[in-house]
Copies of this chain bind each other. A is one copy, B any other.
Amino acid sequence: MLKDNSVYLPEEAYLSKREFPSIILASLKGISQVIFIENVVSGVIILIAITIASYQLGIIAFLSSMIGTLIGKIGGANEKSVDSGLYGYNSVLTGIALTLFLTGPSQWIIALGGAVIAAIFAAMMVHFMKNSTLPILTFPFIVLTWFMLLVSYRLKVFQLSNTLVPQSLSHWELDIEGEVNWTEGIFNGIGQVFFLDHTLSGVLLFIAVFWAGWRLGLYAVVGNAVALLAAYGLGGEHSLIILGLYGYNAILACMAVATVFSTEDNRFKSISGIAAACLTVPLTASTSTWLLPYGLPALTMPFVLSTWLFLGARKVLPTL
């Protein structure tokens, strides 16, 4: 998404042996595109971060990215987009999420099937968002994962993990007790972008981001910090703050609004980025509440909503 892609441009349109390396590279970029990076090295570091937390998850992440990339190739998508990994990142997240939130023997097949649909969904969204000239972000992954998890109430083969429990809003009690471990909160924040709550993985993810550019890294750190403070100051549940669940959306929104999708005209882009990061905190709260009766996780919806809000408004309020 950020830089030009000039490594392995295949000479033939059909799939051949000579395209194989280009697919591998595109798949690694697909993993890094989850955090707006088009860079093979960052992709490898992220893949290591995932694999440290869980062997199985690392395999699923890489296979999902390859599936998304292949769908793009076979479907005849714009070659540059496919090679940049833009058909991979929604599949990566869908594959990981379905592996984590489902259980039982068919878990793997469903996760990889989800990766297929995620790539088709991404293509559809590219078409739908064309007129608005806004990026599709991780919207296909979010909506698809919600739908796939709800399937489990009706089809036996889909078995929901017992971490997802539907609750009635009328019996909900907010409990924010407990100490906040700030170090854990910081590294879990970036880890949660890939559903990881493992400190070393968090450290590696920060390295992957800084490798791609210090500016990106800076906004990732800033977005995380303001969100942790905002969540604490507004009285969020301390257990969720420690798990990084108030941080990952803020990191993504801050990077997207302040640097990835900004131009020279956006004079207040740093302020907008910080505001977008802060806004993900109440958005995380309300999205979770809205999904409570269905027992679904908010995923990266707060990031998508906050980012679309600022990027869309910019078309009319250009200084933002």
Question: Which residues of the other chain, B, contact A292 by a CB distance below 8 angstroms?
Answer: 153
* Interchain nearest-CB distance for A240 vs B (Å): 8
A156-B293 contact, Cβ under 8 Å, with A74-B319, A318-B76: no
Q: Which of A32-40, A188-196, A231-239 contacts B (4 or more CB under 8 A)?
A: A231-239
A155: contacting residue among B131, B157, B282, CB under 8 A: B282
Q: Let me know if A7 is at the binding interface, CB within 8 A.
A: no
Docked CA distance A261–B294 (Å): 35
* Interchain nearest-CB distance for A200 vs B (Å): 29
A312-B235 contact, Cβ under 8 Å, with A169-B293, A290-B294, A319-B76: no
Docked CA distance A121–B311 (Å): 10
Q: Which residue of B lies closest to A126 (CB)?
A: B316
Question: Which residues of the other chain, B, contact A151 by a CB distance below 8 angstroms?
Answer: 282, 285-286, 289
Count copies of this chain in the complex. 3
SS class of chain A's interface: helix, strand, loop or mixed? helix
Q: Let me know if A248 is at the binding interface, CB within 8 A.
A: no
Question: Which residues of the other chain, B, contact A279 by a CB distance below 8 angstroms?
Answer: 117
Q: Let me know if A320 is at the binding interface, CB within 8 A.
A: yes
Q: Mark A35-61, 1 if CB is under 8 A from B, else 0.
A: 000000000000000000000000000
Question: Which residues of the other chain, B, contact A313 by a CB distance below 8 angstroms?
Answer: 75, 120-121, 123-124, 127
Q: Let me know if A9 is at the binding interface, CB within 8 A.
A: no
Q: Let me know if A66 is at the binding interface, CB within 8 A.
A: no
Q: Name A59-78 residues within 8 Å CB distance of B.
A: 71-72, 74-78
Q: Mark A61-99, 1 if CB is under 8 A from B, else 0.
A: 000000000011011111000000000000000000000
> What is the size, in residues, of chain A's interface with B at 8 Å between Cβ atoms?
71
Question: Which residues of the other chain, B, contact A121 by a CB distance below 8 angstroms?
Answer: 309, 313
Q: Name A270-320 residues within 8 Å CB distance of B.
A: 279, 281-286, 288-290, 292-295, 308-310, 312-313, 315-320
Q: Let me know if A16 is at the binding interface, CB within 8 A.
A: no
* Interchain nearest-CB distance for A2 vs B (Å): 21
Q: Let me know if A148 is at the binding interface, CB within 8 A.
A: yes
* Interchain nearest-CB distance for A178 vs B (Å): 13
A235: contacting residue among B124, B155, B236, CB under 8 A: B155
Docked CA distance A320–B279 (Å): 39
Q: Which residue of B lies closest to A132 (CB)?
A: B128
Question: Which residues of the other chain, B, contact A146 by a CB distance below 8 angstroms?
Answer: 286
Which A residues are closer than 8 A to B by beta carbons? 71-72, 74-78, 117, 120-121, 123-128, 131-132, 146-151, 153-158, 165-170, 172, 174, 176, 231, 233-237, 268, 279, 281-286, 288-290, 292-295, 308-310, 312-313, 315-320
29 of the cross-chain contacts (CB-CB < 8 Å) are: A75-B316, A75-B318, A75-B320, A77-B317, A78-B316, A117-B279, A121-B309, A123-B315, A124-B308, A124-B309, A124-B310, A125-B312, A127-B132, A127-B315, A146-B286, A148-B282, A150-B286, A151-B282, A151-B286, A151-B289, A153-B172, A153-B285, A153-B289, A155-B234, A155-B236, A155-B285, A156-B234, A166-B169, A168-B170
